[in-house]
Structure 1
Amino acid sequence: MIKSLKILLFMSVVLFAAGCSNDISQYQNSEPKFNLFEYFEGDSAAWGMIQDYTGKQTRRFEVAITGKVDGDTLTLVEDFVFDDGEKTQRVWTIIRNGSNEYIGSADDIIGKAYGKEVGNALQWKYDFELVYEGSPIVVAFDDWLYRQDTDHVFNLTKIKKFGVEVGEITLFFQKR
């Protein structure tokens, strides 16, 4: 009985610590500063992959991105081409909500996306309608983007359903 309680206590501490590790404030002093509007204004390209909960790669894709800034609004047109030939487009409208916070929307985003940048990092959180085996399901995306330099950003996304990670996206951006 005591051994079971010790294991349960240990697991609780590990899960609590893991949950606390994604605090964006830890990037406060990281350079270069992210600057979402500056980075995505103009043309950029991206490529990445989707993995399922086991880590198996399930899809690959490329994205051509065009961004236009008008005051406190960034419009991003993303044209996706997947490895199976599927082509889709997502158009984001992102509004600056303060100096380092953003609110975004797109057709396949449920509600609003909320983002915050600190140092070289940007975190986006939103719900997304995903088609799985022919049926739409809503999953939560937790996007972490990191600016490497003038031209490069990388993105790691956790995909969750009912709080459980069901997939991951790895994506790399390059300014054109």
Structure 2
Amino acid sequence: MKIHLRQIALGFCMTLLLGGCSSPAVVQYADQKPELDLSQFFSGTIHAYGIFTDRSGEVKKRFTVLIQSNWEVVQGKKVGTLDESFEYSDGTTQKRIWRLTETAPGQFTGTADDVVGVAKGESAGNALHWAYTLALPVDGTTYHVQFDDWMYLVTPKVMLNKAKMSKFGIELGEVTLSFYKP
């Protein structure tokens, strides 16, 4: 009888732990305004300001990003290019060029040279949720880390971004960004 109760208690605890790890569903933001139109917000020049914090919350890097973006219709689908130029507080720079495709209303895929496979995104209301794996170079070694990336349009000119980084399900840190469209 004791073993049976332990198994039930363990199962209950595992259910609570796993439930605590799940992300909210993007659809819960469907009624939030202003409504995010990805191709409208990421059109032209956008400035972004961000930090990377480790899992203890300590700021490890500060950076700015200049984004030049445009969209076109290819075979009936919206396709966007986001050309991102990063400048870090230590003086280093980085370039990333995203190619985004709206595969269905509110559904997106994305690729970039340092993204492993294809990023998948979904938007509703003022929110966008991305999930992808990034090849992250650190001290001469490249690590594949998973990003759980959420963006929220606050005003037509300001969007906030919070992305959790993990490897093997262990949280490594978080990237926080604010995007500003002049």
Tell whether the structures are fold-level matches, with TM greater than 0.5: yes
Pair 1:29-2:31 in alignment? yes
Q: Is 1:79 the counterpart of 2:85 in the alignment?
A: yes
The match for 1:160 among 140, 148, 166 is: 166
Q: CA RMSD in A?
A: 1.8
Find out whether 1:110 has 2:116 as its counterpart. Answer: yes
Offset at residue 11 of structure 1 (A): 3.6
Q: How many residues align?
A: 176
DSSP 3-state at the match of 2:155:
coil
Range with bigger deviation, 18-27 or 31-40: 18-27
Matched residue of 1:97: which SS?
strand
Query: What pairs with 1:80-159 in structure 2 (closer than 5 Å)?
Result: 80-159=86-165
Give the match for residue 59 of structure 1.
61
* TM-score (normalizing by structure 2): 0.89
How far apart are 1:132 and its partner, in Å?
2.2
Structure 1 gap segments, 5+ residues each: none
Distance 1:73 1:14, change over 3 A: same
Corresponding letter in the other structure for 2:59: Q
CA distance in 2, matches of 1:99, 1:143: 19
**Letter paired with 2:115:** I
TM-score, with length taken from structure 1: 0.92
Distance 1:108 1:38 in 2: 25
Tell me the distance in 2 between the aligned counterparts of 1:4 and 1:165: 29
Unaligned runs of 5+ in 2: none
Shift of residue 15 of structure 1?
A: 1.7
In the alignment, is residue 68 of structure 1 matched against residue 70 of structure 2? yes
1:60 is displaced (CA, Å) by: 0.5
Larger radius of gyration: 2
Deviation at 1:108, TM superposition (A): 0.5
The amino acid of 2:44's aligned partner reads: G
Distance in 2 between residues matched to 1:156 and 1:106, nearest whole Å: 19
- For 1:101 and 1:24, the matched residues in 2 are separated by 11
Residue 46 of structure 1 is matched in structure 2 by 48
